[in-house]
Amino acid sequence: MQRHSRATGLAGVLVVDGHPLFRQGLRRALEQETGMSVVAEAASGYQAIQLATIHRPALALVDVQLPGITGLNVVRALKGEHPRIRAIVLSADTADELLLAAALAGAAAFVGKDATLEALVDTVQRVMRGERPIDLDILRRPALAQRLLSELRHEASADAAPNATPVPNLLPLSPREAVVLDCMVLGLSNKEIAAALYITEQTVKNHMTAVYKKLGVRGRLEALRCAIRHGWVQIGGSRPKPARA
């Protein structure tokens, strides 16, 4: 499918959302309204990373609420693995702290799920022209801009805005380690993680050891508790089925 996208000159899109109907709706809307080609759909973070490696999309639309690692951490992992991918975060919650976290994760735009199709299409087109609408969204609100500067300077956001809601922390893991944690949260065994990521079980164990060390924990259960406590992952839903490419 990626070859078709290049042959027709269409930009490839990766849609990442845990709900099949929403993914299919986005696929139809994007292909009909923008002429872009949706090269793959993913239901989880590890699927998103796999499919991005296979298809090399120009754009990723990522929902904040995903099973496993959150959409914000998926964006960070995607940007870490493939810096040229432009990312748009989709969210039913448009709270300021999510907007800031999306910008810090590397997203080019943040769109509420209640936005009109026209607004989404306009945002996609602007992002594909190289614009970053998320920066303008933040700059229009001086308090948010100040908080973003504070975050970028590695200062506590509370110093700049004492009454502000804290910005969600991003996973202190490499993209590969984040993907392994995602599989752990989804309940995959070491053997299943190895099969899902096309790596050996020993490599899985090596990544898990690195995850435990960085999170300051001693095992899988402690790692999951730590990730849940910090809001790095979402628990719930069933294991995602094989991703559609």
| pLDDT the model gives residue 214 | 94
Q: Region 12-28: what's the mean pLDDT?
A: 93
Confidence check: pLDDT of 166 > 60? no
One domain for residues 88 and 180? no
Confidence check: pLDDT of 199 > 60? yes
| pLDDT the model gives residue 150 | 74
One domain for residues 217 and 147? no
One domain for residues 105 and 206? no
- At residue 164, the 3 state secondary structure works out as coil
* HSE value, Cβ hemisphere, 13 Å, CA-based, for 21: 0
One domain for residues 155 and 198? no
Tell whether 73 is covered by a domain: yes
Tell whether 208 is covered by a domain: yes
Q: What is the CATH number of the domain that holds 139?
A: 3.40.50.2300
One domain for residues 93 and 202? no
**Digit-coded pLDDT (tens) for 220-236:** 999 999 999 888 988 76
Q: How far apart are CA 34 and CA 127, in angstroms?
A: 12
One domain for residues 12 and 80? yes
Tell whether 240 is covered by a domain: no
In total, the chain counts a number of residues equal to 245
Q: What is the CATH number of the domain that holds 193?
A: 1.10.10.10
Tell whether 166 is covered by a domain: no
Domain count, the chain: 2
Q: Would you place residue 8 in the very low, low, confident or very high pLDDT band (cuts 50, 70, 90)?
A: very low
One domain for residues 51 and 142? yes
| pLDDT the model gives residue 111 | 95
**Strand blocks (E) in 82-138:** 86-91, 109-112
Model-wide pTM > 0.75: yes
Domain with 208 in it = 175-234
**Digit-coded pLDDT (tens) for 109-155:** 999 999 999 999 999 999 999 999 998 888 888 887 887 777 766 54
One domain for residues 147 and 78? yes
Residue where a domain stops, chosen among 160, 194, 217:
160
**Digit-coded pLDDT (tens) for 81-114:** 899 999 999 999 888 888 888 998 999 999 999 9
- At residue 16, the 3 state secondary structure works out as strand
**Digit-coded pLDDT (tens) for 167-185:** 566 888 998 999 999 999 9
**Digit-coded pLDDT (tens) for 33-84:** 888 899 999 999 999 998 999 999 999 999 999 989 999 999 999 999 899 9
| pLDDT the model gives residue 110 | 95
One domain for residues 145 and 182? no
β-pairing verdict for 68-69 and 233-234: antiparallel
Tell whether 167 is covered by a domain: no
Please provide the average confidence, as pLDDT, over all residues in the chain: 85
One domain for residues 10 and 125? yes
Tell whether 68 is covered by a domain: yes
Contact 185, 69 (CB under 8 A): yes
